[in-house]
């Protein structure tokens, strides 16, 4: 009976990863965009 639970755990983890992959991409994109915005802001401050 321990076999069924052991098999369902990787399946649930894979399902969670598939669902969160989009969320991870959104978070990654948000971090990149915010870093670029901060970098541009610093460059503008240094320029003027």
Q: pLDDT tens-digit profile of 22-31?
A: 899 999 999 9
38 pLDDT above the threshold of 90: yes
Residue 25 CA to residue 28 CA, distance in Å, equals 5
Task: Enter the pTM of the model.
Answer: 0.53
17 pLDDT above the threshold of 70: yes
19 pLDDT above the threshold of 90: no
Identify the band that residue 5 occupies on the pLDDT scale cut at 50, 70 and 90. Answer: low
9 pLDDT above the threshold of 90: no
Residue 33 CA to residue 39 CA, distance in Å, equals 10
């Amino acid at each position: 009976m321990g076999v069924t639970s052991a098999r369902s755990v990787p399946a649930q983890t894979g399902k969670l990863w598939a669902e969160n992959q989009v969320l991870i991409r959104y978070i990654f994109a948000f971090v990149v965009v915010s870093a670029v915005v901060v970098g541009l802001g610093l460059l503008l401050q240094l320029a003027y």
